Structure 1
Amino acid sequence: MATKLEVKMADDQFPGWHGTTIIGVKKGGEVVIAGDGQVSLGQTVIKGTARKVRRLSPGGFDVIVGFAGSTADAFTLLERLEAKLEATPGQLARASVELAKDWRTDKYLQKLEAMLIVTDGTELLVITGAGDVLEPEHNVAAIGSGGNFALAAARGMMDSDRDAEAVARDAMAIAADICVYTNGRLTVERIAADGDVSKITSES
């Protein structure tokens, strides 16, 4: 498993569609994943309230997943990840590596256009279609069209007294101000290292 890498992705890897920013922030004994709600096709906003951050509970172990890319492709990958987690309960890294292997080698899965940020409250990982499982440096990962902006903003706030949720929200607000394919309607999920999960949804 690759480690100590900063993670970012631009939607131009997948021509034709835009409109996702997802950020994961690990701080103060918890991890927050936040995602905006905009989906665009070319220059047209198709939807403003898509929910791109989801909670899975395979085998009684909570995991939060945020995805950037084709929604249909992402849900296919979420189903695969859930199956891997059911086979290896409580072992997020192992399940992620197994998913990445399948994603890279399976002829059907290779065609799927998406990226995932996943966490169980202890580990924060990014899974890519290239077969990579990445643990970001500085406890921040961001993907999607505004990922670079969100990543830079969050990095600048990690030494402040803001908690993980505040860092994620403020970074997403900055990304939404800069990236035309990102809006301010957030879905935010929080999970503590002990597995305590809470959901906060903002439509502002």
Structure 2
Amino acid sequence: MKTHSTTIIGLIHNGQAALGGDGQVTFGNTVMKHNAIKIRSLLNGKVLTGFAGSTADAFTLFDRFEEKLEQYSGNLSRAVVELAKDWRTDKYLRRLEAMLAVVSQDKTFIISGTGDVVEPEDNIVAIGSGGMYALAAAKMLKKYSNLSAEEIVKEALKVAADICIYTNDKINVEVIK
């Protein structure tokens, strides 16, 4: 059975960085869990990361990413590139099926197992089955509202939950203080 799940959205807006995700975990056509937490704070709260894809694979990637952040003394750009290189070339890691969204106070990244590292120009990252719905909502809210980054993430996740059957409204948002 193929797993589908998740919407992760993060952004930097008006000096605030936020990342959030829904809580639904789906296996095939069955909802297995409603309140999963798919985001994690790293580097003493300076970096937020979220995953879409296989849960076990994502936790392996979280651990590897945290090691890279420590290895490169918190240099986020270097850590994401080195993780992507390892992910693509390591015999074990390249079999992992997940994506990571990463947000810091001043940078956003999407990292994939194909070796892609994307740093969006608009500082909005979105992954998962509902990611593009949340991305569209976040772009409009960022441009035409006075909401904070945290509020935009929450509202974008609500939009995705209304459209994507693999996304629910049990939202978890972290903000970099």
TM interval, shorter chain, is over 0.9
Letter in 2 for 1:165: E
- Aligned length, in residue pairs: 176
Report the CA distance shift for 1:87/1:29 in structure 2 as closer, same or farther (over 3 A): same
For 1:87 and 1:139, how far apart are their aligned partners in 2? Answer: 25
Are positions 1:73 and 2:73 aligned together?
Answer: no
The CA deviation string for residues 4-32 of structure 1, in whole angstroms up to 9 with x for no partner, is xxxxxxxxxxx711121000111011211
Taking the aligned partners of 1:90 and 1:119, their CA distance within structure 2 comes to 13
For residues 75 and 90 of structure 1, the distance between their equivalents in structure 2, rounded to whole angstroms, comes to 19
Describe the SS at the equivalent of 1:22: strand
Find the counterpart in structure 1 of residue 160 from structure 2.
175
Give the Cα separation in 2 of the matches to 1:174 and 1:61: 27
* d(CA) in 1 for partners of 2:156, 2:67: 32
Structure 2 counterpart of 1:172, one-letter code:
L
- Gapped runs of 5+ residues in structure 2? none
Q: Gaps (5+ residues) in structure 1?
A: 1-14, 197-204
Matched, 1:136 2:93: no
Pair 1:184-2:165 in alignment: no
Tell me what 2:84 maps to: 100
Instruction: Please report the TM-score for the alignment, with normalisation by the length of structure 2.
Output: 0.95
| Normalised TM-score (structure 1) | 0.83
* Residue 149 (structure 1) shift: 0.5
Within 5 Å, give how 1:152-167 maps onto structure 2: 152-159=136-143, 160-167=145-152
In structure 2, the partner of 1:118 is 102
Residues in 1 aligned to 2:104 and 2:91: alpha-carbon distance in whole angstroms: 29
State the SS of the aligned residue for 2:122.
Answer: helix
Amino acid at match of 1:29: G
Query: How far apart are the structure 1 equivalents of 2:51 and 2:73?
Result: 21
3-state SS of paired residue (2:74): coil
SS in 1 for 2:154: helix
